[in-house]
Structure 1
Amino acid sequence: LINRAERLGLSELYQLRGRVGRSDRRAYAYLLLPSEIDLTAIARRRLAALKEFSDLGAGFKIAALDLELRGAGNMLGGEQSGHIEAIGFELYTQMLDRAVRELKGEMPEEEVATQLNLGLNIRIPADYIPEENQRLRMYKRVAGVERDSQLHDVRAELIDRYGEPPAAVRNLLDYAELKLVAVRMGVGAIERKREQVSIKFRQTATVDPERLARFVASQRGTQFSPDGTLKFLQKATAAEDVLSNLKHLLEELAGTPSAAA
């Protein structure tokens, strides 16, 4: 019996529920609420999630929803707390997914991922995709994009099913596009803290040395260290401007055709 269940967080309720039914005898977890209380919208979503997510591997879905509820919708922004603030949403969800796979006996292959930690408001609002499962599915689809054609398909599906995406969703798609460019170029990580941006290039990165030298010389306060890290100032604060500027910079440094267009 869990009394006053509305006072507990989603992860706490999930952990408590997991303490029953671990033998060969069927068990039940009862969540008790005062009959006269008016539940908040978030409390209702927490309780509804516990009812919905009960299958094997539901821990990842619970964790993702818990992040959304506690993070005020700013899933990739600077208002996060705890471990996710230190490592970013993308890496955090990758670690969660890997842990779930290992518990299920699936050993994922090692991947060298490109990490983007930009502190931007990049999300799917609940008023655009109301159903939580569908929002989670779309987040994972965007995160799993590996080719431009896949990103085009995701964009087309969003428009077809939910209408023209709002600014936050367009930012999410632009974020995915920036990551595709970074992966192709050989960027290890891009981090933005206020006006300071750091781009860490791998040794195999396709950077034009002359273009890089011109950029460093032309931008006041720009530094390029021997370990392959480019640091510079970017005063743009709007998400669409930050993403667009970074994408164009990478294309310029790589000397890709789109940069010259």
Structure 2
Amino acid sequence: TLIIDRADKYGLSQLHQLRGRVGRGRERAYAYFLYDPSKPMTQQSHDRLATIAQNTALGSGFDVAMKDLELRGTGNLLGDEQSGHIEGVGFDLYVRMVSEAVEAYKEPERTEPVAVSIDLPIEASIPVDYIDSDKLRLEAYRKLAAARNEQDLEELREELTDRYGNPPIEFATLFAVARLRNKARALGLTEIIAQGNRVRVAKIDPPESVQMRIARIYKGVQYRPVTKTYLIPTPFAGSFGSEPMGSDEVVAWTDQLLDDLAWKPQSRR
């Protein structure tokens, strides 16, 4: 039998290691973790004791370690600092950043993914009644922004469905914008930003055949080769006799624009 007084003062890994000192033989063993109920307990202390109480099965050390990582932060992987504030960027994004850094070390010639800024007249947000926690809602936004391909988006959709239920209709627009960002990234673009009755697209250096095609399709378009920027007239605001475009229409128009920018003439045989 093991008795630990003021167990709330111990770290999670310490409690797990101490509990493992007993109960290794055929005789049933007991570990009692005591705390003073008359003194206030911090939320982290409560979480540590709750984690120990919940993970009693053989082989639960991994779950305890992951919870300890969540509570304390990952710290500095290359130094002795072990109190990093992982909450600042979120655990999933932090792990992705570390993974990208490792891949960059293994493959120094690999180019960094392009950061794409998209600012269009689109209403796309996560409803508060779907994810009521500001922190968890921000985490979902981070994961959506970090999605690099269709597989990432599908995995995120499955995760959200598993945690919060079927996503509302507003998510269709959010995922559509994420697809626009990935398509723009594949073209090497850095921004698609609406400015009045035009949209600015940068940076792109299209061949002459594409420039001629864009000029034919989008009347009044301007291309500035010095900054590698397109200024393209948009129908977002509508015109006489027509209503302004809705979010779905803006997404569809922008998607078609990206297809036109990616157009390549068919080779003649």
TM-score w.r.t. structure 2 length? 0.50
Q: 1:173 to 1:200 in 2, by over 3 A?
A: same
Look up the match of 2:5: none
Partners in 1 of 2:169 and 2:187 — Cα distance? 27
2:242 matches 1:234:
no
Look up the match of 1:28: none
Secondary structure at the counterpart of residue 187 of structure 1:
coil
Look up the match of 2:257: 249
Alignment of 1:135-214 (within 5 A): 135-203=137-205, 207=206, 209-214=208-213
Secondary structure at the counterpart of residue 230 of structure 2:
strand
Partners in 1 of 2:150 and 2:211 — Cα distance? 25
Partners in 2 of 1:218 and 1:113 — Cα distance? 27
Following superposition, the deviation at residue 183 of structure 1 comes to 0.5
Q: 1:130 to 1:178 in 2, by over 3 A?
A: same
Look up the match of 1:218: 217
Partners in 2 of 1:169 and 1:212 — Cα distance? 34
Partners in 2 of 1:200 and 1:157 — Cα distance? 33
Following superposition, the deviation at residue 154 of structure 1 comes to 1.4
Following superposition, the deviation at residue 172 of structure 1 comes to 1.4
Partners in 2 of 1:168 and 1:193 — Cα distance? 24
> Contact conserved, 1:197 with 1:233, CA < 8 A, in 2?
yes
Percent pairwise identity: 25
> Contact conserved, 1:114 with 1:182, CA < 8 A, in 2?
yes
> Contact conserved, 1:190 with 1:199, CA < 8 A, in 2?
yes
- The AA in structure 2 aligned to 1:154 is L
> Contact conserved, 1:208 with 1:254, CA < 8 A, in 2?
no
Partners in 2 of 1:209 and 1:155 — Cα distance? 40
Partners in 2 of 1:212 and 1:164 — Cα distance? 43
Secondary structure at the counterpart of residue 190 of structure 2:
strand
Secondary structure at the counterpart of residue 230 of structure 1:
strand
- The AA in structure 1 aligned to 2:229 is T
Superposition CA RMSD, Å: 3.4
- The AA in structure 2 aligned to 1:117 is D
Alignment of 1:1-261 (within 5 A): 57=85, 60=88, 112-203=114-205, 207=206, 209-227=208-226, 228-236=228-236, 237-255=245-263
Partners in 1 of 2:187 and 2:194 — Cα distance? 19
TM-score w.r.t. structure 1 length? 0.51
- The AA in structure 2 aligned to 1:57 is H
Partners in 1 of 2:162 and 2:253 — Cα distance? 28
Partners in 2 of 1:151 and 1:208 — Cα distance? 32
Following superposition, the deviation at residue 118 of structure 1 comes to 2.1
> What are the ranges of 5 or more consecutive residues in structure 2 without an aligned counterpart?
1-70, 74-83, 105-111, 237-244, 265-269
Look up the match of 1:90: none
Secondary structure at the counterpart of residue 193 of structure 2:
strand
> Contact conserved, 1:119 with 1:193, CA < 8 A, in 2?
no
Count of paired positions: 161
Following superposition, the deviation at residue 189 of structure 1 comes to 1.2
Look up the match of 1:15: none
Partners in 2 of 1:156 and 1:198 — Cα distance? 34
Partners in 1 of 2:258 and 2:208 — Cα distance? 13
Following superposition, the deviation at residue 120 of structure 1 comes to 2.8
> Contact conserved, 1:208 with 1:255, CA < 8 A, in 2?
no
Q: 1:224 to 1:144 in 2, by over 3 A?
A: same
Q: 1:112 to 1:218 in 2, by over 3 A?
A: closer
- The AA in structure 1 aligned to 2:201 is I
